[in-house]
């Protein structure tokens, strides 16, 4: 189950993903639009249907149950078995995996920074 516990961090992850699409000069207009649509759909699905997704960080694997009643598995290589991916088009499943990875990384960074702050306070005798 995917649970977004910090909406602010997730919002920043989404914004960063969209910014990177806009800054990627190698993308054609249609490709960029497809990427933006995939990110938007993935973000909405994560927020509304996270209970139908499972991310295993140790195995770098996302399982998700799609609206088409299919279960998709995205492994470390990032490939998906869906129809869009088979046609070379970015799918929202792949975008979801990337957003979840980035969210987890951001949350770990936030947790580490908080732990460092607490250690410094403790060492200073506060």
Q: What percent of the chain has pLDDT over 70?
A: 89
Distance CA 84, CA 86 (A): 5
Question: Which residues neighbour 5 within 8 Å (Cβ) at sequence distance 6 or greater?
Answer: 107
Quote the longest CA-to-CA distance of the chain: 60
Contact 68, 15 (CB under 8 A): no
Radius of gyration of the chain (CA): 17
Given phi > 0 = left and psi -120 to 50 = alpha, else beta, which region is 100?
alpha
pLDDT value, residue 115: 60
Enter the tokens of residue 30. 């249609």
Q: How confident is the model at residue 28 (pLDDT cuts 50, 70, 90)?
A: very high
Predicted confidence band of residue 116 (pLDDT cuts 50, 70, 90): low
Tokens standing for 14?
């989404």
Q: How confident is the model at residue 125 (pLDDT cuts 50, 70, 90)?
A: low
In the chain, domain spans: 7-123
């Amino acid at each position: 189950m995917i649970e977004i516990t910090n909406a602010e961090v997730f919002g920043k992850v989404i914004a960063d993903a969209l910014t990177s699409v806009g800054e990627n000069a190698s993308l054609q207009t249609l490709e960029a639009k497809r990427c933006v649509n995939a990110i938007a759909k993935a973000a909405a699905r994560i927020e509304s249907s996270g209970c139908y997704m499972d991310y295993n960080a140790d195995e770098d694997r996302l399982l998700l149950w799609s609206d088409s009643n299919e279960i998709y598995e995205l492994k470390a290589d990032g490939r998906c078995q869906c129809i869009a991916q088979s046609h070379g088009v970015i799918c929202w499943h792949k975008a979801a995996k990337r957003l979840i990875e980035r969210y987890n990384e951001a949350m770990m960074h936030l947790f580490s920074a908080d732990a460092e702050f607490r250690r410094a306070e403790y060492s200073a005798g506060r």
